[in-house]
């Protein structure tokens, strides 16, 4: 069996957005090196200063270098019928795959990752970066962060792996069903194999245990497979950073969506782009002042507020309040529209009955507010969304009370739930916000 041990330098960390600046290939027949190839590559773009400092490759060096298409045939021929070997193999492979894809060619080679091999054959190290591994194993690295220097170090590391492989790990890794080459370098295969094919929320963690991404899936294992293979709709550039995957089963897609949204806001994962920020839904609230006058107001949603109903924006809340005042003959001053002392503007134009001026009795005004709120409550939905749970004998419930999301939970399927008050005994409370409203609108 022949192995093509490859290392590349690039303009950035994501193959679909960046390009190769240097490539080195070492052909190994399983016993010794039989051929080598290296070249700089003009990426037709500039290299960021920090990448130049890391690799020592600058824009001037690449001006007269060949483009990838000029050396593509050599790379294809050299690696044909070889196992593609690299340290964190999916990184190097993805760039070469994308370059050939842009030329209309489908680059497919069996893959081996020396990070994954080393973790199993040389356990116990705090890091499996190429530099740390070579230092621990006594491998000299010349010209670090240049393609041929790193490729030569990887070739020596691979030879050490072959000598230490008494259980045919390399052969097993090349088996089509092993998925070893698919997985990120730091993710144990046992973690991936144990993933359920059920609906829920999943969490990607890095080597320090920090959650770096939260997602939801109808089939967790299938969804994560699509991330790892790049066959999904999302383009995740941080796959190589994944060292662990945890999950929470949810039972239904709706609950998975609601929990995902909550967890993204709570954990603020580095690589989630949307739903991190609460875009500020507004709520209708009421209270009584020292004179026992019943006030209404709209405010930015907060867990400390008891919401009568919710609005997606400040403008929507304000527009509602003006209509509510007009339709129910209420006072602008006591509905949060007008500030300052004295009678409200509507009193001046004879549309307010004068509770703000002492003309109307407080009890009479309060009664009108109570009637208005009662009418409003009749127009707002109180819903229980009851569905399957996480197991066959469990049910799930989402509670929406007067148009406000209260939370979700699970209960024994033998229990009969008939109203929101009963259902609230089984739920975990969660905050209503504009993202929640959008999710519920898609299901209600």
pLDDT tens string 65-76: 999 999 999 999
Does the pLDDT at position 129 exceed 80?
A: yes
Q: Give the integer Cα–Cα distance in Å for 91 and 88.
A: 6
Mean pLDDT (the chain) is 91
What percentage of the chain's residues is helix, strand, coil (to nearest 5)? 35, 20, 40
2-173 classified as CATH 1.10.150.130 = no
CATH 3.40.1440.10 positions along the chain are 189-267
Q: Which of 203, 320, 272 is nearest to 435 (CA)?
A: 272
What's the DSSP call for residue 335?
G
List 282's β-bridge partners, or say none: 300, 311
pLDDT score at 444: 67
Band of residue 235 on the pLDDT scale cut at 50, 70, 90:
low
Q: What is the pLDDT of residues 258-286, one digit of tens each?
A: 999 999 999 999 999 888 877 667 889 99
Q: What is the pLDDT of residues 136-176, one digit of tens each?
A: 999 988 877 799 999 999 999 999 999 999 999 999 999 87
pLDDT score at 233: 47
Q: Give the integer Cα–Cα distance in Å for 329 and 365.
A: 9
Band of residue 438 on the pLDDT scale cut at 50, 70, 90:
confident
The overall pTM is greater than 0.85:
no
Cβ atoms < 10 Å from Cβ of 367: 12
What number does CATH give the domain 189-267?
3.40.1440.10
Cβ atoms < 10 Å from Cβ of 256: 23
Q: What is the pLDDT of residues 409-422, one digit of tens each?
A: 999 999 999 899 99
């Amino acid at each position: 069996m022949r192995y093509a041990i490859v290392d590349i330098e690039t303009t950035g960390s994501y193959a679909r957005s960046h390009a190769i600046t240097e490539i080195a290939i070492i052909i190994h027949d399983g016993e010794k090196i039989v051929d080598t190839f290296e070249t700089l590559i003009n990426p037709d773009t500039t290299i960021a200063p920090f990448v130049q400092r890391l690799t020592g490759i600058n824009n001037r060096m690449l001006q007269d270098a060949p483009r990838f298409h000029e050396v593509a045939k050599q790379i294809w021929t050299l690696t044909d019928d070889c196992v593609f070997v690299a340290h964190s193999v999916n990184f190097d492979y993805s760039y070469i795959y994308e370059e050939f894809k842009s030329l209309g060619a489908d680059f497919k080679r069996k893959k081996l990752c020396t990070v994954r091999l080393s973790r199993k054959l040389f356990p116990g190290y705090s890091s499996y970066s190429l530099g740390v591994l070579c230092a621990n194993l006594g491998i000299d690295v010349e010209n670090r962060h240049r393609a041929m220097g790193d490729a030569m170090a990887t070739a020596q590391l691979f030879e050490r792996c072959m000598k230490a492989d008494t259980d045919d790990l390399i052969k097993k890794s090349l088996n089509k069903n092993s998925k070893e080459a698919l997985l990120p370098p730091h993710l144990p295969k046992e973690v991936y194999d144990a993933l359920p094919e059920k609906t829920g929320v999943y969490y990607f963690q890095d080597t320090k245990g920090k959650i770096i991404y939260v997602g939801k899936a109808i089939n967790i294992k299938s969804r994560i497979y699509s991330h790892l293979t790049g066959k999904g709709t999302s383009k995740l550039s941080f796959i190589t950073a994944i060292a662990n995957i945890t999950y929470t089963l949810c039972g239904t897609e709706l609950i998975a969506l609601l929990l995902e949204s909550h967890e993204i806001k709570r954990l603020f994962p580095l690589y989630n782009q949307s739903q991190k920020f609460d875009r500020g839904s507004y709520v209708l609230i009421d209270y009584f002042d020292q004179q026992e006058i019943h006030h209404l107001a709209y405010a930015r949603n907060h867990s400390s507020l008891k919401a009568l109903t919710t609005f997606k924006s400040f403008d929507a809340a304000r527009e509602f309040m003006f209509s509510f005042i007009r339709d129910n003959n209420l006072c602008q001053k006591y509905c949060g529209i007008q500030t300052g002392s004295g009678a409200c503007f509507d009193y001046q134009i004879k549309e307010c009955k004068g509770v703000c001026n002492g003309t109307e009795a407080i009890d009479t005004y309060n009664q009108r507010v109570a009637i208005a709120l009662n009418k409003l409550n009749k127009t707002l939905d109180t819903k229980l969304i009851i569905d399957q749970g996480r197991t066959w004998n469990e049910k799930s419930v989402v509670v929406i009370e007067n148009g406000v999301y209260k939370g979700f939970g699970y209960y024994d399927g033998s229990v009969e739930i008939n109203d929101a008050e009963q259902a609230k005994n089984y739920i975990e409370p969660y905050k209503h916000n504009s993202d929640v409203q959008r999710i519920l609108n898609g299901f209600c």
